[in-house]
Amino acid sequence: MTNDNSTPQEPGTADAEAMAAAATQTSPATPEAQLAEAQGRLAEMSDAYLRAKAEVENIRRRSDDEMSKARKFAVEAFAEAMLPVMDSMEAAIAMPEAKVEQVLEGVHATKRQLASALERNKVLEINPAAGTRFDPHQHQAISVVPAEQEANTVVMVLQKGYSIADRVLRPALVTVTAPK
């Protein structure tokens, strides 16, 4: 039986009422229960947020400590490599009666130790051969001289340069050929 006094419903209204009824059945019926559920979720999310924030702060603090230690002890390996050089120099000073040949031999040995220590720590010589193209990033021209070789090439190295990790610590001091 149908009720003749009913007003015709618009299409889709029955579907909306059915969904509202289903939602009412799955969620708490009273506003107090809904509030309690929302407060519970808020407490969980707040706790998760605070834990995540604390974790980020701990990570930041650890990374700051590691950076500080890295800066503080960055030269440690280099200093360890320099200790034998220092020992050799002190040994030479402790022998004032040494002959010139002995001193010269000790100086050469100490220079080899120093070169080895620099190489182990990635400090490389910049010592361009004669005829090498002048590179203003690695060389510093002290003078320009006329020469038979190509223009803007190294004639002579007055002082070696040094670099570390592709960064010039000191450019090589060179004389270069004058343009013709």
The chain-wide mean pLDDT, for the chain, equals 87
d(CA 33, CA 38): 9
Asked whether 134 and 105 are in contact (CB, 8 A), the reply is: no
pLDDT in tens, 24-63: 555 556 999 999 999 999 999 999 999 999 999 999 999 9
pLDDT for residue 119 is more than 50: yes
pLDDT score for 29 = 67
The percent of the chain in helix, strand and coil, each rounded to the nearest 5, is: 55, 20, 30
pLDDT score for 74 = 82
pLDDT score for 71 = 86
- Averaged pLDDT for residues 147-162: 93
d(CA 91, CA 96): 10
Pull the structure tokens for residue 71: 């800066």
pLDDT bracket for residue 15 (50, 70, 90): low
pLDDT score for 111 = 95
Pull the structure tokens for residue 53: 């924030």
Asked whether 151 and 175 are in contact (CB, 8 A), the reply is: no
Residues in CB range of 137: below 8 A, 6 or more apart:
168, 171
What percent of the chain clears pLDDT 90, i.e. is strictly above it? 69
Which contacts qualify for 87-90: CB closer than 8 Å, 24 or more apart? 88/113
d(CA 79, CA 83): 6
pLDDT score for 1 = 47
pLDDT for residue 175 is more than 80: yes
Question: pTM score > 0.85 for this model?
Answer: no
pLDDT in tens, 92-107: 999 989 899 999 999 9
